[in-house]
């Protein structure tokens, strides 16, 4: 990070915002996949 | 049993590309995440979007960075997306390359299990790329929406902030008056402590809300809430410095007027000391609001103590008004005030065009009219002839009624409503007319008034004062230093009651 960046805080905030959103999406996706797999297995077995 | 086993095998066969897809999606998302972070200035090798350098001296532009959400956020958004999608392309290409170039052991002789692996992995790359693209596009959309919402919210907040700032100043009674030209200011100009560049319009707007970043990188407060009054401030009218921390406290503006030689300057010198003494004695605080006032007051007081006389007020070349004596006074209980006491050359009050240049008359709620009793013929003729030559040198030449009428007529012509203004009349040089004051109770306003009307034949003048002003009070003052380096008690009393006309009690 450049020391003379006047928008340092803003940029870090945007990265944190996007990272949080991405993490939430991934978590939701994983939960959905696990639920589907469990549902399939419960039908099959 | 067989059906179940076949189903499981089919599921596993279908799952293999999916498992590869998840793996490649993770690789692509990881690479694009790192690219995004670098594009936003994080990491060891940041590659941020260029920030336009503010220019100095451009019309209607300040030497400051525009606030982030106004333009730079969109520059960053575009830059980050270009970098991220470019990284996605590179990562996908790299994955394909790894699949295409196989180890000779895998192809010579050809082994079918590797062909199956390549096919499922290839499908995995396609699935992973598609998933990653959807996720990245979704995140970009979410970022754009969030930035848009913040942009709109910031505009709303900007107006709210400006309103709250103005409201707080109003509630606290904060005003800004130039101590040099006397103009009441709606906004001041501020100097950046980092590069000394002047910011002409430091308030919430295109360059920031509570703060702005100067072109040199210094972060400046832009509202009273964020304490912008701590910056060095300048008057936009006369281009001269304002008193320190103008905008922190409410103000009391007191102009003095009177004929040349009436004793205005000497009264101000002693008045300053009297206010300091009163503040100290009653548990309050006193501080000069700027170095010029401190220097002038100290010099004038030393001169008065040494020579018993004050120097005549002179104007700096090109100036139209004499800078005020500005001081911060805080009573033991109550809010601190910035007190401006304006002096003027007595000659100014001969000419209406000169009086009109005294802008501070427009904002003052209390005027002080300094009258030299020696300039009243009735009193002058009552003084023994043998004493007159010594007094002639210090006597004001013009009768007070002439100065008063000239000033009042001009002030009314300026559109100032004197019915809202208090008048305090300071009859100076009381120490020189002890004999004439034998029958006068010096602490009684009515007694001084009666003396003026009955003994000095100033009935017309007193009536004119009563008719024009909201209230009129009279004081006999001896603007002298006592042996204890303090002000004469008559000036202390005068100071206390003059400030009380504006609700300020020491």
Residues in B lying within 8 Å of A, measured between beta carbons:
4, 7-8, 11, 29, 33, 36-37, 40-43, 46, 48, 51, 65, 68-69, 72-73, 76, 135, 138-139, 142-143, 146-147, 213, 217
Give yes or no for a contact between B55 and B61, defined as CB atoms under 8 angstroms apart.
Answer: yes
Nearest CA among B485, B479, B483 for reference residue B494: B479
Backbone angles phi, psi at B180, to 5 degrees: -95, -50
Residues of chain B found within 8 Å of residue A28, distances taken between Cβ atoms: none
Residues 6+ apart with CB under 8 A from B114: B102, B106, B107
Q: Which member of B42, B138, B147 has the closest CB to residue A15?
A: B42
* Residues B396, A7: Cα–Cα separation, whole Å: 64
Give yes or no for a contact between B236 and B176, defined as CB atoms under 8 angstroms apart.
Answer: no
Instruction: State how far residue B198 is from chain A, nearest Cα, in angstroms.
Output: 19
Q: Which member of B7, B41, B143 has the closest CB to residue A11?
A: B41
The per-residue pLDDT for B5 is: 78
Residue A9's closest chain B neighbor by CA? B68
Residue B184 structure tokens: 């009441």
CB neighbour burial string for B256-267, b if at least 16 within 10 angstroms, e if fewer: bbbbbbbbbbbb
Strands in B83-185 per DSSP E: 176-177, 184-185
B41:A6 CB<8 A: no
Work out how many CB contacts closer than 8 A connect A with B.
66
Residue B45 CA: distances (Å) to CA of A12, A14, B38: 15, 18, 7
Give yes or no for a contact between B119 and B13, defined as CB atoms under 8 angstroms apart.
Answer: no
Q: Which member of B40, B42, B142 has the closest CB to residue A21?
A: B142
B7:A44 CB<8 A: yes
Q: What is the largest CA-CA distance in chain A?
A: 62
Q: Render B268-326 in DSSP notation, one character per residue.
A: HHHHHHHHHHHHHHTT-EEEESSHHHHHHHHHHHHHHHHHS-PPPP-PPTT-SSPPPEE
Instruction: State how far residue B113 is from chain A, nearest Cα, in angstroms.
Output: 26
Residues of chain A found within 8 Å of residue B37, distances taken between Cβ atoms: 15
* Residues B28, B91: Cα–Cα separation, whole Å: 6
Instruction: State how far residue A16 is from chain B, nearest Cα, in angstroms.
Output: 10
Residues of chain A found within 8 Å of residue B209, distances taken between Cβ atoms: none
* Residues A39, A44: Cα–Cα separation, whole Å: 9
Q: Which member of A1, A17, A26 has the closest CB to residue B146?
A: A17
Instruction: State how far residue B166 is from chain A, nearest Cα, in angstroms.
Output: 27
3-state secondary structure (DSSP) of residue A30? helix
Residues 6+ apart with CB under 8 A from B34: B43, B87
* Residues B426, B373: Cα–Cα separation, whole Å: 10
Q: Please tell me the number of Cα atoms within 13 Å of A36 on its side-chain side.
A: 8
Residues of chain A found within 8 Å of residue B36, distances taken between Cβ atoms: 15, 18
The per-residue pLDDT for B316 is: 66
Whether the pLDDT of residue A2 is over 50: the answer is no
CB neighbour burial string for B173-198, b if at least 16 within 10 angstroms, e if fewer: ebbbbbbbbbbebeebbbbbeeeebb
Instruction: State how far residue A18 is from chain B, nearest Cα, in angstroms.
Output: 7
The per-residue pLDDT for B428 is: 94
Nearest CA among B208, B176, B161, B246 for reference residue B54: B208
* Residues A6, B67: Cα–Cα separation, whole Å: 10
A15:B40 CB<8 A: yes
Q: How many helices (H) and strands (E) does chain A have?
A: 1, 0
Nearest CA among B481, B139, B119, B159 for reference residue B301: B481
* Bond prior to B109 in cis (omega within 30° of 0): yes
The per-residue pLDDT for A5 is: 86
Residue B200 structure tokens: 């002409």
pLDDT (tens digit per residue) in B205-243: 999 999 999 999 999 999 988 899 999 999 999 999 999
Average pLDDT of adjacent 10-residue blocks, chain B of 506 residues: 74 80 91 95 91 89 94 96 96 88 65 75 91 93 95 93 91 93 94 94 92 93 91 95 94 94 92 95 94 92 81 68 93 94 85 88 95 94 87 88 93 94 95 89 93 94 96 93 83 94 90
């Amino acid at each position: 990070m450049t020391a003379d960046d006047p928008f340092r805080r803003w940029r870090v905030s945007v990265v944190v915002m996007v990272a949080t959103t991405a993490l939430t999406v991934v978590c939701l996706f994983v939960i959905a996949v696990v639920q589907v797999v469990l549902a399939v297995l419960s039908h099959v077995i | 049993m067989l059906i179940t086993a076949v189903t499981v095998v089919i599921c596993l066969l279908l799952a293999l590309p999916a498992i590869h897809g998840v793996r490649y999606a993770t690789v692509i998302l990881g690479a694009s995440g790192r690219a995004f972070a670098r594009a936003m200035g994080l990491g060891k090798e940041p590659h941020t979007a260029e920030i336009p350098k503010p220019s100095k001296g451009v019309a209607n532009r300040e030497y400051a960075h525009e606030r982030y959400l106004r333009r730079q956020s969109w520059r960053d958004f575009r830059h980050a997306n270009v970098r991220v999608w470019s990284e996605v392309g590179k990562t996908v290409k790299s994955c394909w390359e790894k699949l295409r170039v196989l180890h000779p052991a895998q192809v010579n002789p050809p082994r079918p299990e590797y062909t199956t692996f390549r096919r499922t992995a290839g499908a995995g790359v396609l699935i992973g790329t598609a998933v990653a693209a959807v996720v990245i596009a979704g995140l970009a959309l979410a970022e754009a929406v969030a930035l848009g919402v913040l942009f709109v919210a910031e505009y709303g907040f900007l107006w709210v902030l400006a309103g709250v700032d103005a409201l707080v100043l109003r509630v606290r009674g904060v005003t800004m008056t130039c101590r040099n030209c006397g103009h009441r200011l709606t906004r001041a100009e501020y100097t950046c402590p980092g590069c000394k560049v002047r910011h002409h319009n430091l308030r919430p707007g295109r360059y920031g809300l509570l703060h702005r970043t100067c072109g040199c990188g210094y972060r400046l407060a832009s509202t009273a809430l964020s304490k912008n009054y701590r910056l060095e401030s300048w008057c936009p009218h006369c281009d001269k410095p304002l008193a320190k921390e103008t905008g922190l406290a409410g103000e009391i503006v007191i102009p003095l007027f009177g004929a040349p030689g009436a004793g205005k300057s000497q009264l101000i010198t002693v008045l300053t000391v009297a206010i300091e003494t009163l503040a100290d004695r009653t548990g309050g605080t006193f501080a000069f609001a700027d170095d010029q006032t401190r220097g002038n007051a100290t010099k004038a007081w030393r001169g008065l103590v040494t020579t018993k006389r004050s120097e005549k007020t002179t104007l700096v070349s090109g100036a139209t008004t004499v800078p005020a004596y500005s001081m911060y006074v805080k009573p033991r209980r109550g809010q601190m005030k910035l007190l401006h006491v304006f002096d003027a050359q007595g000659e100014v009050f001969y000419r209406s065009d000169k009086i009109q240049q005294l802008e501070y008359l427009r904002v003052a709620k209390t005027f002080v009219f300094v009258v030299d009793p020696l300039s009243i013929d009735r009193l002058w003729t009552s003084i023994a002839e043998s004493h007159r030559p010594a007094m002639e040198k210090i006597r004001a030449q013009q009768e007070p009624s002439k100065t008063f009428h000239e000033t009042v007529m001009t002030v009314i012509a300026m559109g100032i409503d004197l019915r809202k203004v208090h008048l305090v009349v300071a009859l100076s040089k009381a120490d020189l007319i002890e004999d004439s004051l034998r029958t006068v109770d010096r602490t009684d306003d009515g007694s001084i008034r009666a003396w003026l009307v009955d003994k000095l034949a100033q009935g017309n003048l007193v009536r004119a004062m009563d008719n024009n002003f909201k209230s009129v009070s009279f004081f006999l003052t001896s603007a002298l230093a006592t042996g204890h380096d303090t002000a004469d008690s008559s000036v202390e009393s005068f100071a206390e009651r003059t400030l009380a006309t504006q609700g300020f009690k020491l």
